[in-house]
Every structure is written in structure tokens, then in C-alpha cells.
Amino acid sequence: MEPTLLHVAIDSFAIQAERLRCPKLVGRPLVLAPADSSRPRVVAVSREARGAGIFPGTPLLVARRLCRDLIALPPDRDLYAGLSQSIHERLAPFAPFADAADAGGPGRGRFALDLTGLARTHAGARDRASAAGREVERAFAIHPTLGIAATRLVSRVAATVLAPDGELLDVMPGSEVAFLAPLAARLLPASRRAAVAPRLDLLNVRAVRDVQALDVAQLRAAFGAPAGLALWREARGLDAATEREGEPSATAVAEDTLGQETNDGRILGARLERLAMELGVGLRARGTSARSLAVTVWYADGREGRAKRTLATSTCSEAEIRTAALAVLDRALTRRVRVRRLRLEAWEAPSSAAQLSLWDDVGDEGGDMTRARVEARREAGRLSERAGHVPTLVPARFHNDNRAAALEAALDRVRASFGTGALVPAAWMAYGVALRPPARP
């Protein structure tokens, strides 16, 4: 069956969402910039503002000098995520989604639909794609651009090159190389990596045809093995993953928005410890453990920093999660700008079957038998010592681990009865850390 992927892209999605909420902004130069930053920078630009020489990353003070009637609004992520979810629900009846609900992330205005089955059973599958675009435009007064191709990459590029006034671009199977050749190399996702973009400029690689002229060995030598192979595949219209990804692992998330922006490491560390406690409580309540952690920080100027770490062994221990999270925070904080928000994520390890005991019975009777065996072993140990036998030594780490697990279990019982803030370190009170319910799954 020939793959057929549809990519629905909404150009300047945040700008169009703001104009949908306030129609008076239509046709006026509009930018989005953080309102609570001392030196804000533009994060989204309308077509009118772009015509005045304003681009994402321009300081807001400079943007106001370039355009006297400029309108600046703070980003509203809740509005964009809600509108994206509404569009997703409108597109759902037309075809199954190829990726997650939003192909570009929550609030990005990009959706990927899989028309493969429809192309086999319906002669007008591409007419259905046009109908999906018209439905979005009719329901939300937002103009989308549509790209159809045999791969997700080419369909996304096709929808991007049509923005903002195009309709639908159908790239026939087998013509992907010819379609990509005259386009700018920056349209390839691998070309936007931090280490790849400046090297492309250094080598004077401007168009995709310049990348297609190089073989895999040359690209690996110039950009490294992973980036070189990714560029080679993308220049020929091939997706990075040839197989459909499996079900994503469960993720536990804890977030905190600071009442006052700060770059004090002690306050940020105390806040992150609180998030680690929330994650630990949630993981233990569900009987799962974390196999990797990620810390994301949002700065006052709208930028963000992120670092991730895979744990040596999966754990649900609050102390181990706290230690690992603090180490990841040091790598996530790469700027001296004040921090506005913190986010701690934990990817849960897949559940595995536990080996059941062959001899211990289950139930009250079995519990009595187990206690009897323990007492018998203790009595055997006493008799061995009296007889002069050397007793078996148990490592101290075993006792420490058991004590830590017992302590966390006792703390969880207290928090379940009296709330999360029943028992907290005194250092948290010094930094004004407020407590909330456990992390959500």
C-alpha cells in the first residue's frame, strides 16, 4: 500500500489565534513578547510587522522604533493549546492522525494525518484533504496550507513552502528529490541543529541540491555521523524513522511557576526538590519507577533551557530523584537570566513481572508461616553463634536501603492523611516554597 501523508500547517498560528480572539487586530502590525521581562524579545511576528523589518528575536525596544504603530501582546499558551485541541477535534473525522495530536507540539498549529487507507479505499482521498482544510477555515476563520506526500518530511515541507497564501501541494511519489532540490537547505530539520547550521554556511551549502550532491561519507566527515546521515536521508525526502513508533512510555510531570523571578541557585534548588518530592510520591502511589529525568527552565525573556539524564537504575526513591534532578538542573541553567518557571519530567520504566515465591503461601495463614520461618532462622542463627560458627554478615547498604524505603513509606502515609505539606524540610520554609498535591500522570 502506497503511503499517503497529509500535513496541515497554520502559518503564524499564535498571531492568528490572537486575531481570532480580537478581530480588531486583523491587518495591524502585531508581535508577541513577554510582558514581565526587563528586556523582552519578540517571539512571534505578523506579516505586517515582518514587512517593517521585525523578526523573531528582535528586542521589543528596537521593534517599536522600527514600527511606530506596533502592537505587542504577551503570549497566551493556554489559548494556543486550547485552539489547537479544537482544530484537532475538527480534523479527527477526516482521517487518523499519523503522529501525536499536534505534529509540532502543543499550540504550534501543525497536524499530520494518515490518508494511506483512504487512498486505497476512496478514490477522492485528496478531495477529502481539501475538505479538511476548508472545514478548518470555515470553523475557525484560519487559513491552513496543506501538503500531501509519501513521507511526513516531504508533506511538512510542502505545507511550509505554501505558507501563508497557498492551498494544497501534492508531491507525487518518486518526485521527492526533484521537489526538494531547489529549496533552501534550512528547511531540512537536521540543518537547524546548533552544530550544523554554521557549518552549512561555512561550506556555502545553500540549497538542498547542494546537500544531494554529497554522499554519506562526505556528509559524515563534515557534520559528524548522526547529523550527516540525517542530512543525507532528509535531502532525499526520507523520514528519520522508517517504522511507526510504538506507544510512548508514561510520563510523570511536576511544574512550578515562581511568584518572583530569580536566578538564585538556592531558591531554584529548593523549588526543584519540592518537585522531586511530588514526583516520588506520585511514582510510589502508582507502583512505578523513573528511568530518566528531564528539567526544563523558562527564563524571564521567554527562552527556555532543557537537560535530560538517563538514570543508571530505575528508581522511585525521593532522595535519588532529588539528587539526579539537581545535577540535571546545573546543566539546564546555561544563562544568567532570571527564571520564571520550572518543570521536572520523569519517564517511567516499563512494568516487569516479579518472581513469585515458590514456598511462601498467600493469606493470613501464609503470613503466620512466614513469621514462623523467620523466627526459626533467628533461633538457628543464635544456636550457630553458640556453637562457634561464624555468622553471615549482611551489607550495611542493605539495611540503609530498607530504612530509606521504610521512611519514605511512613512519610507517604502521613502525607496521605494530612496533606503534602505535613512534613517538609525546614530549608523549604526559608525559601517560601509552597506545596501542592502529588504530580499528575
156 to 105, 136, 139, 318: CA distances (angstroms): 14, 17, 23, 42
Q: What is the pLDDT of residue 65?
A: 92
Asked if omega into 164 is within 30° of 0 (cis), the reply is yes
The percent of residues in the chain predicted with pLDDT above 70, rounded, is 76
Angle value at C-alpha 287, between 282 and 291, nearest 5 degrees: 80
Per residue in 364-410, pLDDT (tens digit) is 444 444 555 556 555 555 555 554 544 444 444 444 556 777 777 77
Q: State the pLDDT confidence band at 327, using cuts at 50, 70 and 90.
A: very high
Residue range 34-47: average pLDDT?
A: 86
Q: What is the pLDDT of residue 432?
A: 60
Domains of the chain plus CATH, in order, are 5-170 (3.40.1170.60), 176-235 (1.10.150.20), 251-351+422-430 (3.30.1490.100)
Q: What is the pLDDT of residue 246?
A: 47
Per residue in 257-311, pLDDT (tens digit) is 887 888 888 888 888 888 888 888 888 888 888 889 999 998 988 788 899 998 8
The pLDDT of residue 47 is above 70 = yes
The pLDDT of residue 417 is above 50 = yes
Q: State the pLDDT confidence band at 114, using cuts at 50, 70 and 90.
A: confident
